[in-house]
Amino acid sequence: MGNHPTKLQHDGVTTAYAGDSNNYEDEDWDGSEGELAEEARGPVYTPSGKERAEIDQSTLDEADDDDDVDEEDEDTELEGELDFRSSLVDVGREETNLDPAAQDKKDKKSNSVKNTVHKGRYFEVESMDIMDPTTGKRVETVSKVIIKDATLEGTLQSFDVTLTYDAESSKLAAIFPWLKKPPFCPLEALMMRLPILRNSTYGGAQMEELVKFLEKERPRMVRKIEAHLKKGLISYSGLWYLFSKGNRFYVDIGKGILVGSSAEYTRYMPAVGLCAPNFYVQGPIIKSDGVKFFRQNRAFDIPVFKGLMPISGLDVQPMTKQVLRILNKRGRVFQKVALKHHYMQYEKFMLKRGAFSDTWIKADGRVMVDISTFNRMNPEYTEFGSSAHDTSTQQQLQQLMAAQQRFTGDYTQTTLPVAGQKRISKAMRYQTWPYVAGFSFTAKRWGELLVESLSDIQFDDKAYDRLVLPEDKKALVKALVEDNKRVQEGRAGVSFSDVISGKGGGVIFLLHGSPGVGKTLTAEAIAEYLHYPLYSVSVGELGVTADHLESKLNDILELAGTWNAVVLIDEADIFLERRSDIDVLRNAMVGVFLRKLEYHQGVLFLTTNRVKAFDPAFNSRINVAIRYHDLTKEARGQVWRNLLGHMGDDESSDLDFDQLADIEINGREIRTVIRLALALARCEGVALNAEHIKRTVAISQQFGKDLNSVEDW
């Protein structure tokens, strides 16, 4: 994928090899392939309405309960076919200048040579050799079928064969009927419908003559296409053979983000207005609304091209063993995280789609994958919901498919809804969508997360033990949060709450003291100990009016309740100060804040630097208030040891922790000094030493002196 050729300016070109049912089993992934790219374009054009439909029951029932079984034996069925396909793609890359078309000596000065291949009562076939005027070589032969019989014309239209009409003659025919020219279509448009036409009981003698001609012509066309495929090449007129129903393919929807599917419906589309002709292929993908999996049809198109094109030059490639392994690996992760909510680690950016453009937001860090809550909080966003892409285009397509089924029974309707599904069969994992919806605790925003960039969190279970806090207070905090966890998980035999149901069931801590003494770190360490998310909120995010405050707190506390998140409201002074008779607006905000705290059932931390004007109403709402004093020398020494030990640099031979403890700085400043010192050491390519610490401490202290000496202007 690294040497991907220049892309066509269309979303979607699919290639797969016909004559192959693609019934290979699930492929495991050995980790040797590179990662998929970081960013993606918006989704390819989706026609279909009720474009989403739940996955077929019979297919999903094949899913195994154990995802971790050894799947090595399943690789063998892929070896021959996929290796053959891969070799064709490789040949295409090496032989992009090959032209297997035979030399034509008829007229080197002409760009085309027209021949009548068949002339019958109901239709005739014309072929045209497209010549290279410079070399005289035949670049391509295109054939069209001219329909001369009205009955045959109507029958073909009922089988979804698109006929082209001459616009000028159609206008004149309104006045002079004899000037009307008969409609026509490419020969390949009929050849791809041959299985349906062959079994049709409609059309009489007209259809019989057409089918007889197509049956005779098909072997010649197939031999020609296969000769090109062996050289890694494909012609536009050969796409019907590549896209036989059921063939697997994958689409690069932008910068290496892949979507796997299988050809389910194909069609040659004529030019319409300013739109050039294209080959249309539709296949299913699997999404989730957070409660169940569902299937949604996606459409891709191949723009018309002349002559032969290397298969490797198409936007969408034939499925290969390597890509199938990658998609199946991603599909297993998708199945794991797409239902319910999951607290995960994430790297790279998340996607936020807009009406006119997409936005990529940096979201490295902890995230909550939760599609159902995403849909509830973002009702205008339909990418993962039941109303996604419910367009008239899809309804028309469904009617078209139903008409085909009525005539022949050959086309199976695949978008009918069935009971909600909880599992995805191994055979369908490669079709899963590359995104899930989630919330970034770093960016404080909702968006779409790349499945491939999700991983399990490696929790730091010793974080709370390293917290510099008196042991009796540490034990009390730990006991309260553990008890609340048992209650929330339904493991507590007896739980204490207010007389009124839903009141007083939470645990609220007030942490007060000077900056940099460990207040925020306490909340972070508790969340890490519980393996719960930490939802940190600043006062600025809560707004400056009572209405805005109530709306934001509703959202935050609702999410915290759903995810068992620990809530941290930092620098909450404005809400804790005593109410007065003159500041009505702030009084209203304090009232809202008190009411919301009272009904919260989870763990919540409030931090403040001062409590001189503490409102008495908070006394009964707060379970534990902890005062953080300025760090003693012993405490500073412990902070130095903890932070350096956590970073793996506590064994530096020349570090004297007693001397470090003598430096009168707070915990946050110690962390900053260590970070700067480590940067210096890495820049110099040496281990961290006392000199690095000394230099960064001097810089930090000088900055403090400068701030204190600055006079007001």
The secondary structure of 364-389 as a DSSP string is -EEEEEEHHHHHHH-TT--TTSTTTT
pLDDT of residue 457: 96
pLDDT of residue 98: 39
Nearest to 74 by CA among 430, 485, 553, 444: 430
| pLDDT tens sequence across 388-408 | 444 444 444 444 444 444 333
Residue 331 belongs to some domain of the structure: yes
Domain boundary among 593, 613, 628: 628
* Domain match, 69 and 206 both: no
495 pLDDT tier (thresholds 50, 70, 90): low
DSSP string, 465-515: TT--S-HHHHHHHHHHHHHHHHHHTT--SS----SSTTSS-SEEEEEEEST
DSSP H/E element including 54: strand 52-54
* Domain match, 374 and 336 both: yes
Q: Kindly give the interhelix angle for 150-158 and 204-229, rounded to the nearest 10 degrees.
A: 60
**Bridge partners, residue 362, by sequence:** 349
34 pLDDT tier (thresholds 50, 70, 90): very low
* Domain match, 353 and 407 both: yes
| pLDDT tens sequence across 616-645 | 788 778 888 898 888 778 888 888 887 887
Domain boundary among 578, 606, 628: 628
78 CB-contact burial (10 Å; exposed 0-12 / middle 13-18 / buried 19+) = buried
Residues with Cβ within 8 Å of 17's Cβ and at least 6 positions away in sequence, in order, are 81, 85, 88, 229, 242, 247, 318
pLDDT of residue 243: 86
What are the φ and ψ backbone dihedral angles of 492, each rounded to 5 degrees?
Answer: -85, 130
pLDDT of residue 26: 41
| pLDDT tens sequence across 651-705 | 455 677 777 878 878 778 888 888 888 888 888 888 888 788 888 888 777 766 6
- Read off the tokens for 61: 């029932």
Q: 542: domain CATH number?
A: 3.40.50.300
**Bridge partners, residue 138, by sequence:** 131
Asked if the model's pLDDT at residue 383 lies above 90, the reply is no
Asked if the model's pLDDT at residue 562 lies above 80, the reply is yes
| pLDDT tens sequence across 4-17 | 333 333 333 333 33
Residues with Cβ within 8 Å of 683's Cβ and at least 6 positions away in sequence, in order, are none
| pLDDT tens sequence across 693-712 | 888 888 777 766 665 665 54
Rg (CA), the chain: 34
How many structural domains compose the chain?
4
CA dist., res. 200 & res. 211, Å (int): 10
Domain boundary among 603, 628, 653: 628
Contact 552, 519 (CB under 8 A): no
Contact 284, 333 (CB under 8 A): no
217, 221, 231, 240, 344 from 118: Cα distances, Å: 11, 15, 30, 21, 64
544, amino acid identity = V
Asked if the model's pLDDT at residue 77 lies above 90, the reply is no
Residue 225 belongs to some domain of the structure: yes
What are the φ and ψ backbone dihedral angles of 379, each rounded to 5 degrees?
Answer: -65, -20
43 pLDDT tier (thresholds 50, 70, 90): very low
Nearest to 597 by CA among 711, 474, 709, 503: 503
Write out 417-468 in H/E/C secondary structure: CCCCECCCCHHHHHHECCEEEEEECCCCEEEEEEHHHEECCCCCCCCCCCCC
- Read off the tokens for 468: 């510099």
CA dist., res. 566 & res. 205, Å (int): 76
- Read off the tokens for 518: 């460990």
* Domain match, 369 and 408 both: yes
Q: Kindly give the interhelix angle for 633-646 and 667-684, rounded to the nearest 10 degrees.
A: 40
* Domain match, 333 and 429 both: yes
Q: 664: domain CATH number?
A: 1.10.8
More reliable by pLDDT, 526 or 75? 526
| pLDDT tens sequence across 197-236 | 988 888 889 999 999 999 999 999 999 999 999 999 999 9
Residue 570 belongs to some domain of the structure: yes
pLDDT of residue 465: 87
pLDDT of residue 259: 96
- % of residues, the chain, pLDDT over 90: 34
142 pLDDT tier (thresholds 50, 70, 90): confident
CA dist., res. 320 & res. 81, Å (int): 9
368 pLDDT tier (thresholds 50, 70, 90): very high
253, 254, 282, 542 from 44: Cα distances, Å: 7, 10, 11, 38
CA 147 to chain centre: 46
Residue 92 belongs to some domain of the structure: no
Mean pLDDT of the chain: 76
Write out 605-623 in H/E/C secondary structure: EEEECCCCCECHHHCCCCC
Q: Kindly give the interhelix angle for 321-337 and 76-94, rounded to the nearest 10 degrees.
A: 120
CA dist., res. 618 & res. 594, Å (int): 7
* Domain match, 614 and 497 both: yes
- Across 15-29, 135-149, 323-337, least confident range: 15-29
* Domain match, 314 and 416 both: yes
- % of residues, the chain, pLDDT over 70: 72
523 pLDDT tier (thresholds 50, 70, 90): very high
Q: Kindly give the interhelix angle for 690-709 and 667-684, rounded to the nearest 10 degrees.
A: 130
| pLDDT tens sequence across 406-448 | 333 333 333 334 444 778 999 999 999 999 999 999 999 999 9
Most confident of 37-46, 70-79, 132-141, 302-311: 302-311
* Domain match, 591 and 674 both: no
Range of the domain at 667: 633-709
Residue 420 belongs to some domain of the structure: yes
E-assigned strands of 263-377? Answer: 265-269, 278-288, 293-303, 308-310, 316-318, 341-346, 349-353, 358-362, 365-370
CA dist., res. 653 & res. 646, Å (int): 16
- Across 77-81, 126-130, 197-201, least confident range: 77-81
Report which DSSP code applies to 141: E
Half-sphere exposure of residue 84, counting CA atoms within 13 Å on the CB side? 12
Residue 597 belongs to some domain of the structure: yes
Write out 219-267 in H/E/C secondary structure: HHHHHHHHHHHCCCEEEHHHHHHHCCCCCEEEEECCCCCEEEEECCEEE
597-626 average pLDDT score: 83
Residue 124 belongs to some domain of the structure: yes
Asked if the model's pLDDT at residue 147 lies above 90, the reply is yes
CA dist., res. 574 & res. 385, Å (int): 40
Residue 42 belongs to some domain of the structure: no
More reliable by pLDDT, 654 or 453? 453
* Domain match, 516 and 617 both: yes
* Domain match, 641 and 541 both: no
* Domain match, 604 and 638 both: no
More reliable by pLDDT, 159 or 457? 457
- Which residue carries 């995280």 as its tokens? 337
Asked if the model's pLDDT at residue 334 lies above 90, the reply is yes
For β-strands 316-318 and 248-252, DSSP reports them as antiparallel
CA dist., res. 657 & res. 654, Å (int): 10
- Read off the tokens for 617: 């109403």
| pLDDT tens sequence across 280-305 | 889 999 999 999 999 999 989 889 98
Order of strands across the sheet that contains 365-370: 358-362, 349-353, 445-450, 435-440, 365-370, 341-346, 454-455
Asked if the model's pLDDT at residue 611 lies above 60, the reply is yes
Nearest to 430 by CA among 299, 261, 287: 261
Q: Is the dihedral of CA 599, 600, 601, 607 positive or negative?
A: negative
* Domain match, 315 and 420 both: yes
pLDDT of residue 328: 97
Give this prediction's pTM: 0.74
pLDDT of residue 469: 85
